[in-house]
Chains A and B, each alone.
Chain A
Amino acid sequence: DIQMTQSPSSLSASVGDRVTITCRASQSISRYLNWYQQKPGKAPKLLIYAASSLQSGVPSRFSGSGSGTDFTLTINSLQPEDFATYYCQQSYSTLFAFGPGTKVDFK
């Protein structure tokens, strides 16, 4: 089974900061990697699919990169509505595991 890890598990940031979250797969998953944002009490929201494709309606300050085992989600100029938990998810092989999440909170 492919295991997903994320770092950091949490971070504190300010409005306007550039934030980078890393996701690592235990084996190569090519570019089969998605990113989701979840706010408290809400369902997850798809941000990035296929490692770097921006989902329709998602602000361009969100971007994704990477392939193989190492991936990055970057938020340029963090906005108040971006404080949330972010999950990566591999869609390469069955079990389609999610990472444990990275919580972004206010510094």
Chain B
Amino acid sequence: EVQLVESGGGLVQPGRSLRLSCAASGFTFDDYAMHWVRQPPGKGLEWVSGISWNSGNRGYADSVKGRFTISRDNAKNSLYLQMNSLRPEDTALYYCAKDKRGGNIGSPTFDYWGQGTLVTVSS
């Protein structure tokens, strides 16, 4: 059974940093691209970032480019999101999602999602 478990969320002041983690199990992690998708409270979904199977290709939404860094450790079956210079508008539930299509991030289809970890940016 595929499982994705996010952690690392919490309350943080504007301008500070936070690192999210996603522990994956139940599939061959290094066969698939992985993504972060966020959802502000009561609002819709926004793709944040994606990383290819071998970390060779990474993509970011314009809203987080230059502030967030996605990474993965295939030996640990783990995905990460380093979030710097956080802003109140980054407040959201952050989901880790597996790409159905394979190892590249070019045309993502999110077939498995974690339960999300809540990030609140407020003073």
**Bound Cα distance A45, B116 (Å):** 13
Residue of chain A at shortest CB distance from B93: A43
In the complex, the chain B residue whose C-beta lies closest to that of A101 is B44
Contact status A91-B107, CB under 8 Å: yes
Query: Mostly helix, strand, loop or mixed at chain B's interface?
Result: loop
Query: Which residue of chain A has the shortest Cβ distance to B62 in the bound complex?
Result: A95
Q: For residue A44, which residues in chain B have a CB less than 8 angstroms away from its CB?
A: 45, 95, 110, 113
Assembly CA distance A52 to B16 (angstroms): 43
The answer to whether B110 touches A55, judged by C-beta atoms less than 8 angstroms apart, is no
Query: Are B107 and A36 in contact (CB-based, < 8 A)?
Result: no
The total of chain B residues at the interface (CB under 8 A) is: 19
Check A106 for interface membership: any CB of B closer than 8 A: no
Closest partner residue, chain B, to A85 (CB atom): B44
With both beta carbons as reference points, the residue of chain A lying nearest to B45 in the complex is identified as A98
CB-based nearest A residue for B110: A46
Q: In the bound complex, do residue B45 and residue A87 qualify as a contact, i.e. CB atoms below 8 Å apart?
A: yes
Q: A43-B116, A44-B113, A46-B100 are in contact. Are A92 and B107 (CB under 8 A)?
A: yes
* B49 CB to nearest chain A CB (Å): 10
Q: Chain A residues near B50 (CB, 8 Å)?
A: 96
Cβ–Cβ < 8 Å partners of B116 in chain A? 43
Note all chain A residues with C-beta closer than 8 A to B107: 32, 91-92
| B109 cross-chain contacts in A, Cβ below 8 A | 34, 46, 49-50, 91
Please determine whether A49 and B100 come into contact, CB atoms closer than 8 angstroms: yes
Chain B residues contacting A55 (CB-CB under 8 Å) are 111
A 68-107 to B, binary, CB cutoff 8 A, 1 in contact else 0: 0000000000000000000101011011111111000000
Q: Which residues of B approach A to under 8 Å, CB–CB?
A: 44-47, 50, 59, 61-62, 95, 100, 107-111, 113-116
